[in-house]
């Protein structure tokens, strides 16, 4: 594969063969040396073949192999003549991250962390098939959830109205149609609101241990030594089934769309086709379920904090900083070749990073730009970033989403054989509560890139800026 270096942090795969646009990868030289033989780069090429794609097929520095699209992939598709690809969103629709700040300092709860871990693990069901966080909802009520997103949580006492301005899309993606979601998807999801799930999903208690942009950190209510909570989860069984349903439907009709794709995992339908419109409506519904899921976990976590620490809500000061999604497709306007074009931006393992002044941001955030939440791994750190103007010029308003895997789950479990990872992490000052030691092995820190290197690439590229670093001290995993 030919790779041209554009600058210290940007590489290009020139357009060739069936590619409609070039491919571009954000990476340091050291990262690119490791990526050169990675099949994820072939996926960047493949995405560049999608009908209607404009600009570039992009990959962030946390790129790794995924279904159809690489994880860390971004593609903007013409909203009039292009396609929608479920593989460009992923199975876990609106997998995302939210950050909650508190009035507590890490030193205040040094002797209570074990008890807090027990309370959080008890309050928020975790693991494969976890359910039962709140009373089971009827299908009719669940349809209200997928239609209204976090507005449903506000109406039912699980959220405050002001939370909506701290959630991407105010916690409800327009265009959701409850009837576009299958009965099987509802069956899988109706007991799963407020549950963490398994795999790389987690709830972490973290300490703000470094601040890079004091004025932005202050605006977000973040300060050194502060206890924060990071929640990473998505749409659970409902979203997975929705993706599966539409991959099957679109795959059956693929030969009738009059275009060729280099990989059937890229299965795509014209945006304006019946299948394309139905998928977008179902995807929005699953996205709204995911936002509501993270909101209910926030509600449950707040109660667990108060119970474990014997404090009230005012002393605790649980407040939502922001919630971002990183598996989504959205209609946005971007400047392409000097003209404003409405596009469907696929972000699969990538985060929206709108700059200061962007009209999509609520008034309270418009002056500073969109917060971006980048989880790392259990043993090191996570980051809070802010979007910059260059993101609109180069990445369709997008940045990285996490550390990015370097070991498959199978490889990680093999590396972990014979090790007590829970004890190792405890010696590093990180207490772990997990449903399965196998999950801890799959998610071991060495299975991931150093997230500090990932966020450094995007800062050097002028796409996003570091605001604060968060160090974990308590992890709840499936």
DSSP structure string for 277-344: HHHHHHHHHHHHHHHHHHHHHHHHHHHHHHHHHT--HHHH--EEEEEEESEEEEEEEEEETTEEEEEE
339 contact partners, CB below 8 Å, separation of at least 6: none
Q: How confident is the model at residue 128, as a pLDDT? A: 84
Mean pLDDT value of segment 246-264: 94
303 contact partners, CB below 8 Å, separation of at least 6: 123
Rounded alpha-carbon distances, angstroms, from residue 194 to 163, 200, 254, 319: 16, 16, 36, 18
Q: How confident is the model at residue 448, as a pLDDT? A: 92
Mean pLDDT value of segment 322-330: 97
Q: What share of the chain is helix, strand, coil (3-state, %, to 5)?
A: 40, 25, 35
Q: How confident is the model at residue 361, as a pLDDT? A: 96
Element holding 76 (H helix, E strand): strand 71-78
Confidence check: pLDDT of 129 > 90? no
Would you place residue 316 in the very low, low, confident or very high pLDDT band (cuts 50, 70, 90)? very high
| Six-digit token string for 354 | 């709108």
194 contact partners, CB below 8 Å, separation of at least 6: 124, 125, 133, 134, 293, 296, 297, 299, 300
CATH number for 158 = 3.90.1860.10
**Count of domains forming the chain:** 1
Confidence check: pLDDT of 436 > 90? no
Confidence check: pLDDT of 199 > 90? no
Whether 346 is a known active-site residue: answer no
302 close to 313: Cβ distance less than 8 angstroms = yes
Over the range 65-103, which residues count as b (16 or more CB within 10 Å of their CB) and which as e?
Answer: bbbbbbbbbbbbbbbeebbbbbbbbbbbbbbbbbbbbbe
Confidence check: pLDDT of 249 > 90? yes
Would you place residue 435 in the very low, low, confident or very high pLDDT band (cuts 50, 70, 90)? confident
305 contact partners, CB below 8 Å, separation of at least 6: 102, 116, 119, 120, 311, 316, 318
Confidence check: pLDDT of 461 > 90? yes
Q: What is the DSSP letter of 178?
A: G
In DSSP terms, which residues pair with 474 in a beta bridge?
A: 205, 431
Confidence check: pLDDT of 163 > 90? yes
Residue of 240, 334, 346, 401 with catalytic role: 401
> Pairing relation of β-strands 269-270 and 339-348?
unpaired
pLDDT tens digits for range 32-52: 999 988 999 999 999 999 999
The range of the structural domain enclosing residue 327 comes to 4-477
pLDDT tens digits for range 380-412: 999 999 999 999 999 999 999 999 888 888 899
CA 171: distance to chain centroid?
A: 14
| Six-digit token string for 321 | 């900083």
Its sign, for the CA torsion 297, 302, 305, 307, is negative
Q: How confident is the model at residue 1, as a pLDDT? A: 85
470 closest CA partner among 51, 100, 60: 100
């Amino acid at each position: 594969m030919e790779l041209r270096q554009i600058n210290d942090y940007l590489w290009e795969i020139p357009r060739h063969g069936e590619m409609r646009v070039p491919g571009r990868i954000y990476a340091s030289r050291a990262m690119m040396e490791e990526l050169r033989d990675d099949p994820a780069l072939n996926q960047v090429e493949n995405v560049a073949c999608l009908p209607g794609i404009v600009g570039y097929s992009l990959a962030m520095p946390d790129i790794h192999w995924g279904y159809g699209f690489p994880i860390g992939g971004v593609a903007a598709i013409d909203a009039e003549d292009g396609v929608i690809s479920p593989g460009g969103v992923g199975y876990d629709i609106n997998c995302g991250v939210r950050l909650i700040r508190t009035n507590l300092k890490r030193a205040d709860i040094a002797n209570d962390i074990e008890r807090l871990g027990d309370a959080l693990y008890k309050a928020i069901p975790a693991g494969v098939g976890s359910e039962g966080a709140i009373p089971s909802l009827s299908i009719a009520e669940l349809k209200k959830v997928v239609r209204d997103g976090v507005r449903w949580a506000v109406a039912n006492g699980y959220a405050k109205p002001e939370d909506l301005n701290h959630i991407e899309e105010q916690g409800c993606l327009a265009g959701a149609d409850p009837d576009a979601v299958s009965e099987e998807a509802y069956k899988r999801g109706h007991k799963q609101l407020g549950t963490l799930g398994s795999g790389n999903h987690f709830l972490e208690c973290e300490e703000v241990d470094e601040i890079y942009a004091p004025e932005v950190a202050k605006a977000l209510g973040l300060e050194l030594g502060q206890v924060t909570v990071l929640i990473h989860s998505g749409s659970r069984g409902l979203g997975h089934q929705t993706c599966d349903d539409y991959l099957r439907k679109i795959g059956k009709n693929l030969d009738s769309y009059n275009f060729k794709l280099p990989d059937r995992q890229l299965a795509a339908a014209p945006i304006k086709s019946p299948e394309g419109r139905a998928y977008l409506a179902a995807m929005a519904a699953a996205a709204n379920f995911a936002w509501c899921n993270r909101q209910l976990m926030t509600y449950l976590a707040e109660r667990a904090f108060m119970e474990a620490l014997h404090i009230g809500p005012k002393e605790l000061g649980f407040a939502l900083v922001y919630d971002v999604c990183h598996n989504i497709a959205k209609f946005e306007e971007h400047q392409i070749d000097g003209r404003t074009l409405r596009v469907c931006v696929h972000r699969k393992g990538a985060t929206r990073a709108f700059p200061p002044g962007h009209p999509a941001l609520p008034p309270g955030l418009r002056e500073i730009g969109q917060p971006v939440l980048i989880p790392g791994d259990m043993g090191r750190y996570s980051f809070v970033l802010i979007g910059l103007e260059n993101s609109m010029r180069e990445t369709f308003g997008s940045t990285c989403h996490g550390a990015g895997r370097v070991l498959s789950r199978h490889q990680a479990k093999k590396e972990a054989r014979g090790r007590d990872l829970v004890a190792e992490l405890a010696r590093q000052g990180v207490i772990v509560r997990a449903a399965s030691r196998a999950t801890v092995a799959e998610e071991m820190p060495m299975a991931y890139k150093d997230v500090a290197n990932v966020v450094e690439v995007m800062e050097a590229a002028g796409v996003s800026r570091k605001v604060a670093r968060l160090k974990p001290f308590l992890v709840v995993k499936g």
